[in-house]
Structures are given as C-alpha cells and as structure tokens.
Amino acid sequence: MTEPAMTEPMSPDQLEAALRAIGRERYHDRHPFHGLLHGGKLDRGQVQAWALNRFYYQSRIPLKDAALISRTEDPALRREWRRRIEDHDGDHEGDGGIARWLHLTDALGLDRAAVSDGRGILPATRFAVDAYVRFVREKTLLEAIASSLTELFAPAIIGNRVAGMLAHYDFVSPEALSYFDKRLTQAPRDSDFALDYVRREARRPDQQQDVMAALTFKCDVLWAQLDALHHAYVAPGHIPPGAFVPEGRG
C-alpha cells in the first residue's frame, strides 16, 4: 500500500521538531568512526586520514555557498550567506577556516601541498562531497538552504571532539584544533538563520517534505564519508588504490 498523500501542512514548530528528529537519528555524531576518533581509539595514521579527507569537505563548502548565493536575487539573503564564505576563506592569506584546517593537517605531519590538492583522498569522499555541491546547485533554493541544517547539530559534536581528542592524543594540541573554536559561534549563527528561513518559507506540505529530504540527504553525505574512512582505515582496512597510506601500513 502506498502512503496516503499528506494534505495538511505542519506548523513551523512541528516542522522544526521533525527536522530535529532527523538529526537525532541520522547525524554523524552517531557514526562509530566518530566514537573511535573522540574516544582516543585511533592511531596517528588514522587521524591523519580523517583530517586529510575532511579537508576536501572544508574546501568545497565555499564553492557550494557561492553556488547558493548565485541563485538568489535577494540582497539580504546574499549578504547573510556571504559571511559563510568569509568565515572559510578569511580576508587575507592565512586567515579563515580553510587556513585553520591546514594548521591541523600541518600539526599532524601531513604535507600541505598534498592536502590542498586533495591527493590521496578516498573516492567516496570526493563522490559524497561533490554530490553536496551539485545538490545545492541544482535543487530549489529552499532545499539548498535546508541542506545546511546539519549545522544545528554541529556544536555538540564539536565540543565532544575537542575534549576527547585533547584528552586522548598526545599528537594533538589546542592550537591544532583552533578551527573548531570559531565553529562554536559560527555554526549556531548560521543554522539559526537557515532554520528561521525554512520555518518561514516551507509552508506547503510538498515543500516541507522537500526540506526534510534535503536534511536527510545531507546527513547521508556526512555519514558516507565516515563509512568510507572506517572501511579503508579501521576494518576491514581496504585502502583503495591511490588513497593515502599511513606510515607503516604500506
């Protein structure tokens, strides 16, 4: 039997509750790889693999935000959204989130040129991240904005990550993790805006279904990246041809 078509729209509060339920069920804080990372169960090579692959995600975020800006004729929305690009790119060389992520990969002993070029990233990292950029280019503006709503759930996982990594890894320092300090204020600011937008604009049932699907898709983008890391670097340990090989695993 097919599901009956939903005819009554949810109230904004109901929609928000439905979105938060998706996060509770599907956000990447529940992924076992994060349990290992935050619980000190990985070695330096495995943490390097995580930071290297995650750099590719970071590096594509400004591209997807620029794509989103290019799709709206509303100056207020562009003004708001361009701050995200400033956060990642900074306003001079060496400033901003991407530069701060490179401090982390430097501190972990990775070669900066290789990280910047995405050399050795997993195929699934590229496929998942590129799918996110394409989603934002091609779907409706409302879906594009809704796909950023994973950031609602980011501050809690960042808190756990920083505390866990500092407690467990002697090769990680507070300076190396400075990327996350700024995210603790940037993520709530960004997700508050996106949530207000979605609550206001997603009024019809079909729009509400679309925003829930967009958030689900984005959770899948994040989850798939951790699945790939786990498969390659934890168990069964099948590193794809051409991907980063930690020292001693050659």
177 touches ligand PQQ (CB under 6 A)? no
Q: What is the distance of C-alpha 120 from the center of its chain?
A: 19
What are phi and psi for residue 190, nearest 5 degrees? -70, -40
158 touches ligand PQQ (CB under 6 A)? yes
User: Which stretch in 110-118, 147-155, 204-212, 242-250 sits in contact with ligand PQQ by CB under 6 A?
Assistant: 147-155
Q: What is the Cβ-side half-sphere exposure of residue 75, based on CA atoms within 13 angstroms?
A: 0
Minimum CB distance to ligand PQQ smaller for 106 or for 245: 106
Contact pick of 19, 66, 145, 154 for ligand PQQ (by CB under 6 A): 154
146 touches ligand PQQ (CB under 6 A)? no
Minimum CB distance to ligand PQQ smaller for 182 or for 203: 182
Q: What 3-state class would DSSP assign to 105? A: helix
Q: What is the distance of C-alpha 145 from the center of its chain?
A: 14
The residue type at 204: R
Distance of alpha carbon 167 from alpha carbon 188, whole angstroms = 25
Distance of alpha carbon 15 from alpha carbon 28, whole angstroms = 21
**The CA-based dihedral angle spanning residues 126, 180, 87, 61, taken in that order and rounded to the nearest 10 degrees:** 10
User: Which stretch in 74-82, 150-158, 196-204, 223-231 sits in contact with ligand PQQ by CB under 6 A?
Assistant: 150-158
Q: Which residue is nearest to ligand PQQ (CB)?
A: 150
Contact pick of 48, 105, 125, 148 for ligand PQQ (by CB under 6 A): 148
Minimum CB distance to ligand PQQ smaller for 72 or for 245: 72
183 touches ligand PQQ (CB under 6 A)? yes
Start-to-end C-alpha separation, the chain: 53
157 touches ligand PQQ (CB under 6 A)? yes
Question: How many amino acids of this chain bind ligand PQQ (CB under 6 A)?
Answer: 8
Cβ atoms of residues 92 and 83 within 8 Å: no
Contact pick of 48, 53, 125, 150 for ligand PQQ (by CB under 6 A): 150
Shortest distance, position 206 Cβ to ligand PQQ, whole Å = 23
145 touches ligand PQQ (CB under 6 A)? no
Q: What 3-state class would DSSP assign to 48? A: helix
Per-residue x/- marks for ligand PQQ, 34-73, CB under 6 A?
A: ---------------------------x------------
Distance of alpha carbon 34 from alpha carbon 165, whole angstroms = 11
96-to-5, 56, 61, 76, 211 alpha-carbon distances in Å: 46, 15, 13, 23, 29
143 touches ligand PQQ (CB under 6 A)? no
Q: Where along the sequence are the contacts to ligand PQQ (CB under 6 A)?
A: 61, 148, 150-151, 154, 157-158, 183
